[in-house]
A and B are shown apart, each in its own frame.
Chain A
């Protein structure tokens, strides 16, 4: 793998657009950023005078707080906009919002939106660099990067690892970003979920698909659990919480099938007793709180690397 010294794009819209060398650059930069968080004064002057707008059209606590902390640690000026109420803001409204924000001349816009592709639309009309903080069911690139950072921290590498991803596969942007990332860096991926929650075409991305949790866990070095949304429980997708937990819930007994020293991850927020047993979530396998801590370092790295891009 060649080493990259810069990102090719001035936006981070998805992992799909990155190559393995760029992913490596972000993770290496994040390692330096993590050290900043361990200092007595957890702040560096790097983005002084830069303005970052956090545009969250969907409710988010941890991602928004993580970005805010990353921005503050780099000394950027930040302002936030959270739209409460109407969950779908589309078409003209988004363009109008974009124009308003653009008039304030921000350098970077961090955007979460319920519609897939909304950040791409913003990137076409704004001079600022756009960071996708989750768009619909499409991508959540910084989540996949912090997952990769956490795996590398624990396992020393990504290449050649066996990664099982379990849960609601069809609605998950975290899954999509992780699939792009893990296949680009040469990990072997198996995904597992109930048949009603498996989107077609996953095999084409070079991953194994199964409905059998025990098979997915067999020899896994990393187990990533995806959140199952309660609101989907009563619909067509799932019969009941109890049945879901019986078939797909991660318990200590089932973890015995995984590789020794296997780690368990969850992007949060967790549903204890639905997709994951408390004894696993709080057990020796869990790196769930490491993920949260590493999220700040990874987002600092992305902000830093995008802030340097030339105007095009």
Chain B
């Protein structure tokens, strides 16, 4: 029931992450952002805009749907298949530093799928992970390079990220 991040906090976190990206990579040369659908996409676009404001350089942005790489699709009798959205990566990722962007980091399984998907597009120089919220409970050896906020949760809770582009307002809520 608790709102753990409001619009101000979301945008301050993203601004800090944009600075961290510049500091760690000494600029934006050969860097591209790939957002994981659905909410990683607007986050990636916002980071691209912030990086442009800071450096004057355009950062290429793509979107990735990981459905075809999910590890739970092949379980029989799991019900209807998830709806697939389009993947759009309109540039070569070869030798680039790819910043993979998602809203919530939880078990790590989405990121595992995203890494497999990305590698089918080419051979990036490196991949770094950006998340708005890290809620813990990893089931795979995966960690984020840039985190908006660490939020301790229980398995029973759910974390809802709402973004103006898709949901009309920016906020992060922990439910249950």
Measuring CB to CB, which residues of chain A are less than 8 angstroms from any residue of chain B? 5-7, 25, 28-29, 31-33, 35-36, 39-41, 43-50, 74, 304-305, 307-311
Contacts and interface: CB of A to CB of B under 8 A. Distances in A.
15 contacts: A5-B83, A32-B86, A32-B87, A35-B87, A40-B120, A43-B120, A45-B68, A46-B68, A46-B69, A46-B73, A48-B74, A308-B78, A308-B79, A308-B81, A310-B77
Interface residues of B, number: 23
Nearest to A36: B68
A45 B69 contact: yes
A40 B81 contact: no
- Which 10 A/B pairs are nearest by Cβ-Cβ distance? A6-B80, A308-B81, A44-B68, A32-B84, A46-B68, A41-B120, A310-B77, A32-B86, A311-B77, A29-B84
A31 B86 contact: yes
Given A6-B80, A25-B83, 14 more contacts: A5-B80, A5-B83, A29-B84, A31-B86, A32-B85, A39-B121, A40-B122, A45-B69, A46-B73, A304-B68, A308-B78, A309-B80, A310-B78, A310-B79
Interface in B68-100: 68-69, 73-74, 76-81, 83-88
B65 interface: yes
Interface in B100-142: 116-117, 120-122
A65 B85 CA distance: 26
A169 to B, nearest CB: 36
Contact of B73 (A29, A39, A308): A308
A45 B69 CA distance: 6
Nearest to A304: B81
A44 B66 CA distance: 10
Nearest to B73: A46
Nearest to A8: B80
Contacts of A48: 74
Nearest to B116: A45
B122 A50 contact: no
Nearest to A34: B86
Pick from B68, B87, B88, B117 the residue with the most CB of A within 10 Å.
Answer: B68
A311 B76 contact: yes
A29 B81 CA distance: 11
Contacts of B80: 5-7, 308-310
B69 A44 contact: yes
A48 B71 CA distance: 10
B120 A44 contact: yes
Contacts of B116: 45
Contact of B121 (A5, A40, A305): A40
A309 B78 CA distance: 8
A29 B85 CA distance: 7
Interface in B42-80: 65, 67-69, 73-74, 76-80
A84 to B, nearest CB: 34
A35 B63 CA distance: 12
Nearest to B85: A32
Contacts of A7: 80
Contacts of A309: 80
B92 to A, nearest CB: 9
B79 to A, nearest CB: 6
Contact of B81 (A39, A44, A50, A307): A307
A39 B86 contact: no
Contacts of A74: 68
A32 B79 contact: no
Given A6-B80, A308-B79, A32 B65 contact: yes
B116 to A, nearest CB: 7
Contacts of B74: 47-50
Given A46-B68, A311-B76, A311-B77, A304 B84 contact: yes
Contacts of B122: 40
Contacts of B68: 36, 44-46, 74, 304
Pick from A31, A32, A74 the residue with the most CB of B within 10 Å.
Answer: A32
